[in-house]
């Protein structure tokens, strides 16, 4: 393969999460958290960027850039707003989304669960309840029976390991996790009692996806993925199945070797067995973490930081790909890689340097199948509201007008040519 070229079959795309772009997901546990008394969420999601109604225009816009894949999620709370009551209207909505992708030459990569869950699940004990296995299985079966003919790739869960990372990393650096969990103590702040009441339950039973970090709940999550995978294989054996992990490049300075090894084991190896029998592995990377003898080392004073306050370090992607490929013998799809910045020239640079690393991995024979930039749009970024701008496409929320940034044109040109381009070519 030419050093500068990507395979003709390479998947080029962007990603979104239903809750962050659709708007008015009133039956979701996140909606309860947003509207809880004392909620730490900076903004209310409201109509978000109204992707629920503007999806056809948005899909056409992505395809027009030259992309060939769109990773998006189906909102469980829309499909099943009450347990056992499946919405035909929502199902047909997602069918039309899938059809729009196929009409415009975009391969759909569908995530069944991207952080948000139905409020009714909290009444059962949420992700700590043994009932979650059967509940998610029923939802998966409905989606695959009704829509599976249009779904060539499916991801059961987004970032199964994020709860452990939130617990161990975000608390250390003092950043409030994306769902507003008490970063300092990993406890249940008073506002979560209000969120539980809005879900019709008590805080003792309120256990969201982002709390899955103990042995028992992790085991339940693994059971849930395997049960869902079996259903998908039974109903649609041609559909490729996987899940994703959020993986920083774990590095160390002298004295930090043991801590770094422990962190990688916690973040990756805890869940690696879950991939056995899957068709691909979804790899998601944004930055690096450096450890010393006293734990996490802060970035150098002159280091470039993103809006999220972590280090701008696109080289992390190559390093994580190589480490995963050494330990897990599955095709890799990069299902998220992105940067929050107001300076789009830095987004172009982030993509360029990240893709240089992908190209190096491909040249060495590592089986990387695709690259999904996070995210397609500037959207609702959980507890940070609309302050973080990850998107290749800007959105004026007063009018919902979309504006493609230079970074979107840049990635589109690479996708069309399967060839690396200089940033100057992004026009």
**The residue to which tokens 């079996």 are assigned:** 230
Q: Where are the domains of the chain?
A: 11-425
- Going through 234-367 in order, the beta strands assigned E by DSSP cover 240-242, 244-246, 249-252, 281-285, 288-292, 295-297, 332-337
Confidence of residue 184 (pLDDT cuts 50, 70, 90): very low
pLDDT in tens, 308-343: 999 999 999 999 999 999 999 999 999 999 999 999
Longest alpha-carbon distance in the chain? 59
Q: What H or E segment, with its residue span, contains residue 246?
A: strand 244-246
Identify which has the larger pLDDT, 183 or 61.
61
254 phi-psi bin (left φ>0, alpha ψ -120 to 50, beta other): beta
Residue 176's pLDDT is what?
39
Q: Is the pLDDT of residue 166 over 90?
A: no
CB 119 within 8 A of CB 27: yes
Query: Residues 153, 126: contact at Cβ < 8 Å?
Result: no
Q: How far apart are CA 176 and CA 388, in angstroms?
A: 14
Predicted local distance difference test score (pLDDT) of residue 399:
98
Q: Which of 65-79, 176-190, 212-226, 374-388 has the lowest mean pLDDT?
A: 176-190
Average pLDDT, the chain: 93
**Quick one: pLDDT at residue 182?**
41
Going by pLDDT thresholds of 50, 70 and 90, the confidence category of residue 185 is very low
Fold of 11-425: TIM Barrel (3.20.20)
* Terminal-to-terminal C-alpha distance of the chain: 28
Report pLDDT digits (tens) over 11-41.
Answer: 999 999 999 999 999 999 999 999 999 999 9
Residue 426 has pLDDT above 70, yes or no: no
Is the predicted pLDDT of residue 300 greater than 80, yes or no? yes
Residue 186 vs residue 140, higher pLDDT: 140
For residue 169, what pLDDT band results from cuts at 50, 70 and 90?
low
pLDDT of residue 22: 98
**Vertex 61: Cα angle to 57 and 64 (nearest 5):** 135
pTM of the model: 0.94
User: Which tokens belong to 33?
Assistant: 């958290």
The pLDDT of 336-351, averaged and rounded, is: 98
Place of tokens 């042995």: 215
Rounded mean pLDDT, 36-57? 96
Q: Dihedral through CA 184, CA 189, CA 195, CA 196, nearest 10?
A: 110
**pLDDT above 50: residue 168:** yes
Tokens linked to 130:
């043994």
Closest CA to 391 of 107, 381, 207, 56: 381
Query: Given this model, what pLDDT does residue 181 score?
Result: 42
- Whether residue 402 is predicted with pLDDT greater than 50 in this model: the reply is yes
Alpha carbons 304 and 311: distance in angstroms, whole number: 6
- The catalytic residues are 159
For 241, residues 6+ apart whose C-beta sits below 8 A from its C-beta are 154, 155, 156, 229, 232, 233, 278, 279, 280
Residue 2: predicted pLDDT: 52
Residue 301, both tokens: 């004073």
Q: Answer yes or no: is pLDDT of 179 > 50.
A: no
pLDDT confidence of 413, banded at 50, 70, 90?
A: very high
> Chain centroid to CA 42: how far?
20
Percent of the chain with pLDDT over 90: 90
Mention every residue, 6+ apart, whose C-beta is less than 8 A from residue 420: 4, 352, 355, 356, 359, 414
Least confident of 63-67, 162-166, 230-234: 162-166
């Amino acid at each position: 393969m030419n050093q500068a070229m990507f395979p003709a079959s390479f998947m080029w795309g962007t990603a979104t999460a239903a809750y962050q772009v659709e708007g008015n997901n009133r039956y979701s546990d996140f909606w309860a958290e947003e509207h809880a008394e004392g909620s730490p969420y900076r903004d209310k999601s409201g109509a978000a960027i109204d992707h629920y109604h503007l999806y056809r225009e948005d899909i056409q816009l992505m395809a027009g850039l030259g992309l060939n894949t769109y990773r998006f999620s189906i909102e469980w709370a829309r499909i099943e707003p009450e347990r056992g009551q499946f919405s035909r209207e929502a199902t047909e909505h997602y069918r039309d989304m899938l059809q729009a992708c196929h009409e415009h030459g975009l391969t759909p990569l569908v995530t069944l669960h991207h952080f948000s869950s139905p409020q009714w699940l909290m009444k059962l004990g949420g992700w700590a309840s043994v009932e979650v296995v059967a509940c998610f299985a029923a939802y998966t079966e409905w989606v695959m029976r009704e829509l599976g003919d249009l779904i060539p790739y499916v991801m059961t869960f987004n970032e199964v390991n994020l709860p452990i990372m939130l617990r161990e990393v975000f608390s250390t650096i003092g950043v409030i996790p994306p769902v507003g969990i008490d970063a300092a103590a990993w406890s249940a702040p008073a506002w979560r009692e209000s969120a539980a009441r809005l879900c019709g339950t008590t805080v003792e039973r309120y256990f969201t996806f982002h709390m899955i970090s103990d042995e028992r709940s992790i085991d339940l999550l693994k059971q849930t993925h395997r049960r869902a995978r079996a259903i998908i294989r039974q109903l649609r054996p041609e559909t490729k199945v996987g899940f994703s992990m959020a993986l920083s490049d774990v590095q160390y300075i002298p004295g930090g070797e043991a801590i770094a090894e422990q962190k990688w084991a916690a973040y990756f190896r805890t869940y690696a067995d879950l991939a056995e029998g899957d068709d691909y592995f979804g790899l998601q990377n944004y930055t690096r973490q450096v450890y010393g003898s006293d734990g996490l080392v802060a970035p150098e004073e002159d280091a470039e930081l993103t809006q999220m306050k972590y280090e701008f370090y696109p080289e992390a992607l190559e390093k994580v790909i190589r480490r995963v490929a050494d330990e897990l013998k599955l095709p890799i799809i990069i299902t998220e890689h992105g940067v929050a910045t107001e300076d789009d020239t830095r987004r172009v640079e982030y993509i360029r340097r990240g893709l240089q690393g992908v190209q190096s991995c491909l040249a060495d024979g590592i089986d990387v199948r695709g690259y999904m930039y996070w995210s397609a749009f500037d959207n609702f970024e959980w507890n940070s509201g609309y302050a973080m701008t990850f998107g290749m496409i800007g959105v004026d929320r007063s009018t919902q007008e979309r504006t493609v940034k230079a970074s979107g044109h840049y990635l589109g040109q690479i996708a069309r040519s399967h060839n690396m381009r200089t940033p100057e070519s992004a026009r």
